[in-house]
Amino acid sequence: MKFDDFDTTFDDFGTPEETTKNVIEKKEFLPWHKPRKQWIRHKQWWTQIDEHIVKKLKPGIDTIKYFGLPGNDLLDIRFFQQKLPSLQKKICLFGLINTEIGWSSAQTQLSKIMDLDGVDKSSKVEQLNFDYLENTSSIAFDKLMEFGCFDVVNLDFCENVIPNATENRLKALHNFMEYQFQKISENWVLFITTRSSKDTTNSGLYEELVACIDENLSEVIYFQEFIRVFSSILLNNNSIVRSDLENQKHINMLVVGLMNWLVKTAHNRHFKVKLSNVVRYDITGENTNDMMSMCFVFTRVMNFPNANPPLPTKAEQAKNSLNKLANISNLDDIMISGGINYYAQFVKEQIDLLKEAGYHTDDYLNQICTNDLAKLQTTAEQLNSIMEAIEQPQQLISAEIMSSDNA
Give the Cα separation of 187 and 170 in Å (integer).
22
Q: What is the pLDDT of residue 25?
A: 60
Reference 171, options 128, 208, 121, 125; nearest CA is 208
Exposure string of 385-404, with b = 16+ CB inside 10 Å and e = fewer, is ebbeebeebeeeeeeebeeb
Task: Give tens-digit pLDDT for 297-322.
Answer: 999 998 777 767 789 999 999 999 99
DSSP3 helix / strand / coil % (the chain, rounded to 5): 50, 15, 35
Is residue 78 very low, low, confident or very high in pLDDT (cuts 50, 70, 90)? very high
Q: What is the pLDDT of residue 10?
A: 43
Give the residue, 298 or 397, on which the prediction is more confident: 298
Beta bridge partners of 299: 272
Is residue 288 very low, low, confident or very high in pLDDT (cuts 50, 70, 90)? confident
Whether this model's pTM surpasses 0.75: yes
Total residues belonging to the chain: 407
Beta strand 188-195 pairing with 291-300: antiparallel
What does each C-alpha distance from 65 to 113, 138, 185, 221 come to in angstroms?
Answer: 16, 22, 13, 37
Mean predicted confidence (pLDDT) in 113-122: 95
Q: Which long-range CB contacts under 8 A does 395-402 form with residues at least 24 apart?
A: 396/42, 396/43, 396/345, 397/338, 397/341, 397/342, 397/345, 399/338, 399/339, 399/341, 399/342, 401/334, 401/337, 401/338, 401/342, 402/43, 402/329, 402/334
Q: Mean pLDDT score of the chain, rounded to an integer?
A: 90
Is residue 264 very low, low, confident or very high in pLDDT (cuts 50, 70, 90)? very high
Give the Cα separation of 347 and 349 in Å (integer).
6
**Is residue 129 a contact partner of residue 176, using CB atoms and an 8 Å limit?**
no
Q: What is the pLDDT of residue 58?
A: 92
Q: What is the pLDDT of residue 391?
A: 65
Of 166-170, 253-257, 388-392, the one with minimum mean pLDDT is 388-392
Task: Give tens-digit pLDDT for 348-372.
Answer: 999 999 999 999 999 999 999 999 9
Three-state DSSP state, 53:
coil
Task: Give tens-digit pLDDT for 102-117.
Answer: 999 999 999 999 999 9
DSSP string for 1-49: -EETTEEEETTT-S--HHHHSSGGGB----GGGSHHHHHIIIIIIIHHH
DSSP string for 57-92: PPTT--EEEEEE---TT-HHHHHHHHHSGGGT-EEE
Q: What is the pLDDT of residue 304?
A: 74
Q: Is the pLDDT of residue 326 over 90?
A: yes
Q: What is the pLDDT of residue 286?
A: 66
Task: Give tens-digit pLDDT for 182-220.
Answer: 999 889 999 999 999 999 999 999 999 999 999 999 999
Mean predicted confidence (pLDDT) in 16-21: 40
Q: What is the pLDDT of residue 287?
A: 74
Q: What is the pLDDT of residue 392?
A: 52
